[in-house]
Amino acid sequence: MPGPNNSGSFDGMTRASQPREVHFVLQKRYEVVSHLGQGGMGTVYMARDMRLANRYCVVKKLRDDFFREEDKQKALEFFKREADVLSPLKHQNIVSILDTFEEDENYYLVMEYVEGENLHQMLNQRGEPFPEEQVLQWAIQIADVLHFLHSNEPKVIYRDLKPSNVMIDTKDRVKLVDFGIARPYAEDSDNTHVVSAGYSPPEQYWGAADPRSDIYALGATMHFLLTGQEPLALQVCSPKRINPKISDHTDEIVQRATAQDVWLRYQSAPEMQQELEFVPKQKQPLKLVQAAVIGVGVMMLAGICVFFYSKATAPGNSGKPVIGDGALKQKDDEIRRLREEKNKALATIRAYQTKDDTESQTEPSSQPPSLVPPTLVPPSPQAIAQNQPPTGSAQQSAKSKAVVFKEMDEASLTDPEGLAPLEEDSGKR
């Protein structure tokens, strides 16, 4: 049986650059063939299940070299909890627990083998952020599996969602791994203080994690995939500030999911999943809309013309066109006659206009003077000097000026040059 691709990783372990070949058998069943990686609490091996047609699986061994006994007991607690939490959970996006056993004072977990790599390794190899559409598809799958965990009885809080714990298999399916710190949730439970900097929300630092804590971790994971930068602890910023190509809708999703206040986040995984699946409608450019309307109008007009033309020339019961050649010639003659009459009328109108313009330039106007609007001509300097009032008070000067200007307006109609003395002004003298 050909072996699987050993280039993948598992449970966020440090991947060996080249899987080291090893060979030993556990429980007279699991033939270990290679060393995949080393983690904080254990070692991961590739093995074949000799009882199930040599099916490949992953064997995780708990470390046995802790310096303090209390550290070993805590690691053993996480190790057993992972088996207890995962064993009853059956979901296509959760790695399955196949077996647990103890041998030679060592503890082992046998798990489903996932051929693929985790998101952290994939982005490092890619060297740039993932496309937004790809990130949204992965996030939808993660939100779905979170809904499954949170709907379990009792609820399961993952508490360690981060790129290195999300694997993508060869069919582009998400697989959540490493449930070492996952635990059933109870309102009055005293949760342990286990965090992953940049992906754990504030409440998890004081042991108060709830389903909304996983929402925060999903938003932080999206931030990393969209920007290529690790989010700062408790300071997840807008991913659009780093990657301007991100849409406003996705940017708002990440910011809401990573809100510091739990009540400002999405209150459930289905609520966030609904936003992830929503695709905002893009506004069509106005010019394209106008072009489409014009195109439809032209097509409709052409269709109408073709319809009526076909009706007019369709053969009747006698096999001849409804409109004969004589009728068509008669219509053409009528149209030609109407055009000629129109041209004659236009020529007559132009002739009358030309005649009126010539007469208006050569003959004097026969209209009475009273009907012609008067042209006001400004007074000459001699008239202004002659009608200057004598020196007096300012009030008398203002009054005299008013009278003079009023009379000048009237006199200018009969004395444009302003040579005749004003009657009122003469009386005053």
CATH number, residue 238: 1.10.510.10
- Structurally, how many domains does the chain consist of? 3
> Tell me, what's the pLDDT at 21?
80
Instruction: Share the mean pLDDT of the chain.
Output: 76
Shared domain check, 99 and 199: no
Shared domain check, 123 and 105: no
Shared domain check, 254 and 392: no
Peptide bond into 154 cis (omega under 30): yes
In a domain, 210, yes or no: yes
Spatial contact of 122 and 135, defined as CB atoms under 8 Å apart = no
> Tell me, what's the pLDDT at 150?
95
pLDDT (tens digit per residue) in 382-422: 554 555 555 554 444 444 444 344 444 444 444 444 444 44
> Tell me, what's the pLDDT at 218?
98
In a domain, 358, yes or no: no
Residues labelled as active-site residues: 160
In a domain, 408, yes or no: yes
> What torsion, rounded to 10 degrees, do the Cα atoms 196, 201, 203, 207 define?
-20
The last residue of one of the domains, among 78, 112, 146, is 112
> Tell me, what's the pLDDT at 340?
78
Please state the pTM of the whole predicted model: 0.61
Shared domain check, 244 and 389: no
**Which residue would you say has higher pLDDT here, 328 or 274?**
274
Shared domain check, 166 and 75: no
pLDDT (tens digit per residue) in 206-218: 888 899 999 999 9
In a domain, 394, yes or no: yes
> Tell me, what's the pLDDT at 396?
47
Shared domain check, 179 and 82: no
Token pair in block for residue 336: 């030609």
- Integer angstrom CA distances of residue 368 from 195, 371, 373, 413: 106, 6, 11, 15
In a domain, 150, yes or no: yes
Spatial contact of 216 and 265, defined as CB atoms under 8 Å apart = yes
> Tell me, what's the pLDDT at 426?
45
In a domain, 286, yes or no: no
> Tell me, what's the pLDDT at 400?
44
Write out the residue range of the structural domain in which residue 200 sits: 116-277
E runs forming strands in 39-94: 42-49, 55-62
Spatial contact of 226 and 130, defined as CB atoms under 8 Å apart = yes
Range 69-91 burial, b when 16+ CB lie within 10 A, else e: eeebeebeebbebbbebbeebee
Token pair in block for residue 59: 């064997």
> Tell me, what's the pLDDT at 81?
80
Lowest average pLDDT, out of 21-25, 30-34, 116-120, 290-294, goes to 290-294
| Alpha-carbon gap, residue 49 to 58, rounded angstroms | 10
pLDDT (tens digit per residue) in 283-311: 445 455 455 545 555 565 555 555 555 55
Percent of the chain whose pLDDT exceeds 90: 38
Shared domain check, 160 and 97: no
| Alpha-carbon gap, residue 176 to 380, rounded angstroms | 103
Nearest to 19 by CA among 11, 4, 7, 1: 7
pLDDT (tens digit per residue) in 351-364: 766 766 666 555 55
**Which residue would you say has higher pLDDT here, 165 or 85?**
165
Shared domain check, 185 and 43: no
Question: pLDDT class for 176, splitting at 50, 70, 90?
Answer: very high
In a domain, 65, yes or no: yes
Shared domain check, 86 and 44: yes
